[in-house]
């Protein structure tokens, strides 16, 4: 199955976020480790989508209307690295 790791930048950002956002990210990571990334992508509530431009090869999920997490799925599809959690600008 998959393993989710939190990058250094994301760990620092998580310390400043509301607890319900941190909890949702933890729930997402636990679901990835239990069911695998392919199954979790089917859950529409996360709005999992590939990014473009400078962020090509990265994906994002929505943690709320305002916050999203960015992650990289490495080619072996075993390790998912959360690289950033931020307030999304619309």
Write down the pTM of the prediction. Answer: 0.90
Instruction: Say what the pLDDT of residue 90 is.
Output: 59
Instruction: Say what the pLDDT of residue 75 is.
Output: 74
Alpha-carbon torsion, ordered 31, 32, 34, 36, to 10 deg: 130
β-partners of residue 26 are none
Domain ranges of the chain: 8-87
Distance in angstroms (rounded) separating the CA atoms of residues 15 and 81: 17
Q: Which CATH number fits domain 8-87: 3.40.50.12780, 3.30.2310.20, 3.10.620.30, 1.20.840.10?
A: 3.30.2310.20
Span between the terminal Cα atoms of the chain, in Å: 34
Instruction: Say what the pLDDT of residue 88 is.
Output: 76
Instruction: Say what the pLDDT of residue 68 is.
Output: 96
- Positions of the chain with pLDDT lower than 50, given as ranges: none
């Amino acid at each position: 199955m998959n393993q989710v790791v939190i990058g250094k930048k994301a760990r620092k950002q998580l310390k400043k976020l509301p607890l319900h956002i941190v909890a949702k990210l933890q729930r997402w990571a636990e679901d990835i480790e239990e069911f695998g990334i392919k199954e979790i992508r089917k859950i529409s509530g996360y709005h999992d989508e590939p990014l473009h431009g400078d962020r090509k090869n990265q994906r994002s999920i929505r943690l709320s209307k305002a916050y999203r997490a960015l992650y990289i799925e490495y080619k072996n599809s075993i390790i998912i690295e959360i690289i950033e959690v931020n307030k999304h600008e619309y």
